[in-house]
Amino acid sequence: MATEGNNLSNYDKNKLPDASDFRIGIVVSEWNDEITEGLYNGAYNALVENKVQPKRIVRWNVPGSFELVYGCKKMQESFDMLDAIIAIGSVIEGETKHFDFVCQGVSQGIKDLNVNNEIPVIFCVLTDQNMQQAIDRSGGKHGNKGTEAAIAAIKMAKLRQDARY
């Protein structure tokens, strides 16, 4: 596993751009909510720690990870003043091919949103083999992938801002 031996929450705060004027959207899957809430908390706390004002963080919930694509698309359309969007979900492998279809659809859908629209969407969807791996990556021994997604959102928001000038 790529996260083996790594804490996803480690980053150098001094290398990040000023995020105090950014507005960030977060779309959260309700499926596997014990995992997605941990990811959301990691993302939210990292954004606030890096000076994104809480009132400038918009959260929407969707039923499952597959619905993240639609939720992010609607958020892009509704909030043209957003600087980045984080898509938070958790898909845990089962005994059927459903896992493969959901993971493929979500990853391709978020890729399409990034290619076809101006507001970057950060992929924070855990695709784990079991619940323990998801726990370890959503605030457990490997830190929090939500924190990593928030840092990526700040960096991409800055890139978007710089590209406009």
The answer to whether the Cα torsion of 59, 62, 64, 66 is positive or negative is: negative
Tokens linked to 151? 């840092």
* Residues forming a β-bridge with 92: 128
Instruction: Give the Cα separation of 85 and 154 in Å (integer).
Output: 10
Catalytic, 98? Answer: yes
Cα 52 from chain centroid (whole Å): 15
**Tokens matching residue 76:** 């892009």
Helix (H, G, I), strand (E, B) or coil at 120: coil
The catalytic residue among 1, 33, 51, 98 is: 98
Q: Which residues are catalytic?
A: 98
